Structure 1
Amino acid sequence: MAGRIPDSFIDELLARVDIVDVVGERVQLKRSGSNQHGLCPFHGEKTPSFTVSTDKQFYHCFGCGAHGSAIRFLMEYDRLDFREAVAQLAQMAGMEMPENTQDSGPQQNHAPLYALLERADRAYHHWLRQHPQRQRAIDYLRQRGLSGEIAQRFGIGFAPPGWDNLIGRLGVSDDLQRVGLVIERDGGRVYDRFRDRIMFPIRDRRGRTIGFGGRVLDDGEPKYLNSPETPVFHKGESLYGLYEVLQADRHPADIVVVEGYMDVVALAQNGLPRAVATLGTATSTRQIERLLKTSSDIIFCFDGDNAGRQAAWRALENALPTMRQGRQIRFLFLPEGEDPDSLVRSLGRSGFESRLQQATSLSDYLIERLEADTDMQSMDGRARFVEKALPLLQRLPPDVYRHMLCERLAGLARLDTDYLEGVVDGRETLNRDQQARRREPTGSDKSGVRRTPVRLAIALLLQSPALARLVDEVESLRGLDDLPGLPLLVQMVELARNEPHLNSGAILERFRDSEHESALWKLATWDHLVPAAGLEAEFADAMEQIRRITTERRLQHLNERLQAGTLTTDEWSEWIRIKQTGQ
């Protein structure tokens, strides 16, 4: 397998490819000024709200919020993973994909590991058909109602009893240990990790085996055993059954997330081939993002017991950073003692589908949990309600969805929506920085972006990365984390100065999947009303305001230390310099 694609390759690729050409092959576009407009391909609309910027090299829909570079467009429109999208663009640009490299140096080639896992997969599959002790495994699968066809589709196999069946078939090697198929004993001897178990191969989106899950055939523990973390298998990113879902339907209307391998297979057996399972860990944000690239509607289907509800709440918390307009996440809780496997067998496909349609929305489930054990009739109870809601709301990206949820929660708490959003953003928190913050321009436009010097500087830098050359005092701004957004601005200035060839789309692509991605896209599409001829002057003014604010804050901090008698010699010199020069 190839290693991580270098940033330098991505930068050059995005510089060579015109996003208008990429989008224009799939969406009918018409020129309007310097941009191209058309009907958004990601949500139904009759009036065009989808814009492709030639200058900035990104697309944005003002209706549903979809946005991204040419890479993201292919990922969303053609349902490709990142590397597949890059490869397709590289072919268009006449560039050869780099192999086995990453930014920090050479990356090991993982092709031998995939080949070894494929050989192990074939061995387990063979033993289910021909091993002398296979009957117990076959009886178990029949008892669970699985057909030979469904077992074949999911590649189900059998790891026989014994300590060295796989070692004997594949031979002892370091790679066998690297992919987690053997365990080393004290003294250096190794033995098979999976023994006397039904084997479920875990595949990536391309169908390559990356790991295994094994279900014990007796009362031994653990009941389910998964492959450990390996160079090609990461539990927090992988999902069992996603490859099979995509084989059944490249664009499923929804995806059901369950807890066990057998749940996935049983649902497929009963005509519901759109379920995936997590791998023995809480559902991660990364896994949810992967699913939302396949379908905009995710249904978590967990057992109705306490453990199932705890798993659902963790999934909700990790889903919040992914929520934006046009996406839907729901929760279905099963009756006590039932799991998806048992319920679909008793209700059949139509009965189970009916239950899925009754799933609870993320917002309803969140409010239900927040209101639990809370007296919403008392002021103290409502205050507690808001206190519990705040850390959850702060995990949501600034978007129409967050605004609507704030509006709903504010109504329940009998608060003004603008006030609640101010608390979420930190604008309504009174602290020693409040006075300095009040000096910042705080007007908001209809986009909801509050106009502050830092936000304006970032937005202008995104529009014209060359403005970074105007910044001379980068070092003096470093470490001033108490001014919101300043560390990000410093990071962007350094990136644009060190790599002046980057365009707006390439800079935004550098922050893909980072904590800053959502905020940067909002600023990139913000109409700040600064004309092109005034970009340099406005950027310089914003940087001067930032310098003045940071100087005032530093002076306030030094004054507090002076009054407390804790000022150091260096700080005393700094205090005098600021007093004399104002900087």
Structure 2
Amino acid sequence: MPFVDRDFINDLPNRVDIVGLINKRVALKKAGKDYKACCPFHEEKTPSFTVVPTKQIYHCFGCGESGGIIDFIMKYDHLAFVEAIETVAGESGISVVYDQTAKPVDMRFKRYNKLMEELSSFYQEQLKTSAAKKKVVDYAKNRGVSGSIAKRFELGFAPPGWTNLFDAYKDSEESTQDLLKMGMIVPKKDKKDDYYDRFRDRLMFPIHNTKGSVIGFGGRVLSSKDNPKYLNSPETPLFSKSKELYGLYHCRKYSRKIDAIIVVEGYMDVIALHQQGITNVVATLGTATTSSHLQVLSRTAETIVFCFDGDKAGRDAAWKALQTSLPAITAGLVIKFLLLPEGEDPDTLINSESAKAFNKRVDEAQTLSNFLFEHIKAEVPFNTIEGKTLFLEKSAALVNLVSYPIYQQQLIEGIAQTIGQNITQVEKAIEQNIANNTQHYYANALEQAEIVNQSFQTKPKRTSPSSIKSLMSRMISCVINYPSLVNDPETSSVIEERARKLPKSDVLVELIRHAQVESDLSKEALLLPYKSKERVYNRLKELSVMEPFLSEYEAKEEFGYTLTAAEKFYERKSTKASILSAKTHDEEKAVMQDIMKSKVSATRQKKS
């Protein structure tokens, strides 16, 4: 995001009509020199919201909200600071002045944005005019999607055929490369300069960023014979599934107030809820909730309600969301969980009961603490001493993830009350858990250091295969649990290349490729190709359970550290083998000189 010139920011409020801008959103009435209205930020019957044009400020005498025009637009339109400035300037006919000393905007991004808007228009037009449109129109009608909601979300249709997009842009090499960069076309195997469309014969859902620009697409099949059921754009310079939320732009645009924001699992859940007037809803894009998602959500509302299907997959997704949420909890943020009746999802439930009934479910959703305690209680024989001990151990490990001291203390008191122990005993158990984790961490670090140091031994010493396997296993576990680790557009190719250079890394490289090709793969789908290889499949299933549990950020750090440790081990092992292979002193000296040259060259490359 570009930096706005500081002088421009300071001068902007003096150049705009605060009354006119607020009046577009809230009906103001003249009251002497000032203007009044019912406050848009809290419920009231008697107007207490006042706009003072001579001072360019607003103030509510009921709830205390006050500020200038930028503050108002940020809060009312649910925008970030720079976005609010651009909105105020744009509606006032003023060109934004950006900081000229900042890094200039990459012009390629303007091309990418223009291209994605063109593609969105193309898919919308195909929904109206394609000869094959009947099946997609019938599908939308059967799902209860009205024309107005289809227009709101800019739904479209990718017609049948392998090369509709490619044929339209193939005469321009730049456009073809841009389509490839945006993941909209895919290169054919072993055929240079020949591509096919990623999305074919699907209902298309444009994915918007917070400004409303199209940054990616999701597509749903229209036949049960086709798969995958849902397909998303891959990671691109515009789109990162671990950071974006489907429907967030529409949530902010169509919700007058956002006291709470509901997080669901799919496109159709968002659309079905909008259809019934529930607009404070978003969906993750084929990935588990991430810390980046939580940062965006917490800026939008003070209450986040995770709403998942009542089946096992839904419960697992809710539990993973809880684990990711614990480090993100801050003062004023409330996180709740709503598990729907088994066999139901928001789409089906909202169509079988009223919006009022669904909102009541949201209001009565479990708090994070209740969900945490109930989930762990269901995992252990709670009515026994052993069960309560396990409950305490499992709870302690999760409480350690909380960085907000007041909430952490409240959880400790809740644990003590649940198991009938005093707070001091629970705190001791948590301290012991921290000590055990620290000991485990340093044991792993020492083990990895020993792997590296063994290559310096004068006498040949066999390296423990299990130690090397533990490095590979840890990397595989990280990728299975967080495929987004290898989907960063800037580093994905580098990671794959580094992994490929490691001996016996076939499975790791395959998993990385699968995760990069299909950006919305679930854990189960990622392992599916190995089901015919029973031994490998069973081992991967074991590794899919991450012990100890790591957040996405911690897993990224762990993966990078472990990959580096494995590289260093094999590098030093290769160096040692070269030295030992020398038959004479002169050969040994020559080998050492080559090694030193390569190290100097590598050091220079890093510095440059």
Mapped pair 1:209 → 2:210: no
Where 2:227 maps in the other structure, the secondary structure is coil
Mapped pair 1:175 → 2:183: no
Instruction: Specify whether residues 79 and 417 from structure 1 end up closer, same or farther in structure 2 by C-alpha distance, changes over 3 A only.
Output: farther
**Matched letter for residue 217 of structure 1:** L
Q: Which residue of 1 is the match for residue 509 of structure 2? A: none
The alpha-carbon deviation at position 99 of structure 1 amounts to 7.2
Instruction: Specify whether residues 184 and 372 from structure 1 end up closer, same or farther in structure 2 by C-alpha distance, changes over 3 A only.
Output: same
Aligned residues: 378
Where 1:198 maps in the other structure, the secondary structure is strand
Select the residue among 183, 187, 190 that pairs with 1:184. Answer: 187
Instruction: Specify whether residues 95 and 116 from structure 1 end up closer, same or farther in structure 2 by C-alpha distance, changes over 3 A only.
Output: closer
Q: Which residue of 2 is the match for residue 263 of structure 1? A: 269
Q: Which residue of 2 is the match for residue 194 of structure 1? A: 199
Q: Which residue of 2 is the match for residue 354 of structure 1? A: 360
TM-score computed with the length of structure 2 as normaliser: 0.56
In structure 2, distance between residues paired with 1:89 and 1:424: 50
**Matched letter for residue 364 of structure 1:** N
Q: Which residue of 1 is the match for residue 325 of structure 2? A: 319
The alpha-carbon deviation at position 353 of structure 1 amounts to 1.8
TM-score computed with the length of structure 1 as normaliser: 0.58
Equivalent pair of 1:202/1:212 in contact (CA under 8 Å): yes
- CA deviations on 1:178-228 (whole Å, 9 max, x unpaired) are 111111112121111100000000001100001000001112000000000
Where 1:318 maps in the other structure, the secondary structure is helix
**Matched letter for residue 304 of structure 2:** I
In structure 2, distance between residues paired with 1:128 and 1:397: 49
**Matched letter for residue 160 of structure 2:** P
Instruction: Specify whether residues 425 and 139 from structure 1 end up closer, same or farther in structure 2 by C-alpha distance, changes over 3 A only.
Output: same
In structure 2, distance between residues paired with 1:387 and 1:421: 11
Instruction: Specify whether residues 427 and 143 from structure 1 end up closer, same or farther in structure 2 by C-alpha distance, changes over 3 A only.
Output: closer
Equivalent pair of 2:136/2:157 in contact (CA under 8 Å): yes
Q: Which residue of 1 is the match for residue 113 of structure 2? A: 114
Q: Which residue of 2 is the match for residue 331 of structure 1? A: 337
- CA deviations on 1:437-474 (whole Å, 9 max, x unpaired) are xxxxxxxxxxxxxxxxxxxxxxxxxxxxxxxxxxxxxx
Mapped pair 1:301 → 2:307: yes
**Matched letter for residue 288 of structure 2:** A
**Matched letter for residue 137 of structure 2:** I
Select the residue among 251, 259, 268 that pairs with 2:257. Answer: 251
Q: Which residue of 2 is the match for residue 21 of structure 1? A: none
Instruction: Specify whether residues 281 and 346 from structure 1 end up closer, same or farther in structure 2 by C-alpha distance, changes over 3 A only.
Output: same
Mapped pair 1:398 → 2:408: no
Q: Which residue of 1 is the match for residue 235 of structure 2? A: 229
Equivalent pair of 1:214/1:224 in contact (CA under 8 Å): yes
Equivalent pair of 1:324/1:400 in contact (CA under 8 Å): no
**Unpaired runs of 5+ in structure 1?**
18-41, 45-70, 434-513, 517-583
In structure 2, distance between residues paired with 1:170 and 1:211: 18
**Matched letter for residue 139 of structure 2:** Y
In structure 1, distance between residues paired with 2:413 and 2:42: 24
In structure 1, distance between residues paired with 2:72 and 2:436: 42
Q: Higher helix share goes to which structure?
A: 2
Where 1:239 maps in the other structure, the secondary structure is coil
- CA deviations on 1:323-343 (whole Å, 9 max, x unpaired) are 133222111112222111111
Q: State the Cα RMSD in Å.
A: 3.9
Mapped pair 1:134 → 2:133: yes
The alpha-carbon deviation at position 387 of structure 1 amounts to 1.3
- CA deviations on 1:36-71 (whole Å, 9 max, x unpaired) are xxxxxx999xxxxxxxxxxxxxxxxxxxxxxxxxx9
Instruction: Specify whether residues 72 and 402 from structure 1 end up closer, same or farther in structure 2 by C-alpha distance, changes over 3 A only.
Output: farther
In structure 2, distance between residues paired with 1:115 and 1:163: 23
- 1:57-136 matched pairs, under 5 angstroms: 79-81=78-80, 83-84=82-83, 96-98=97-99, 109-136=108-135
In structure 2, distance between residues paired with 1:176 and 1:222: 21
Equivalent pair of 1:200/1:261 in contact (CA under 8 Å): yes
Where 2:131 maps in the other structure, the secondary structure is coil
Q: Which residue of 1 is the match for residue 456 of structure 2? A: none
Percent of aligned pairs with the same amino acid: 40
**Unpaired runs of 5+ in structure 2?**
12-40, 44-69, 440-551, 555-608
In structure 2, distance between residues paired with 1:349 and 1:360: 19
Equivalent pair of 2:77/2:253 in contact (CA under 8 Å): no
Mapped pair 1:147 → 2:146: yes
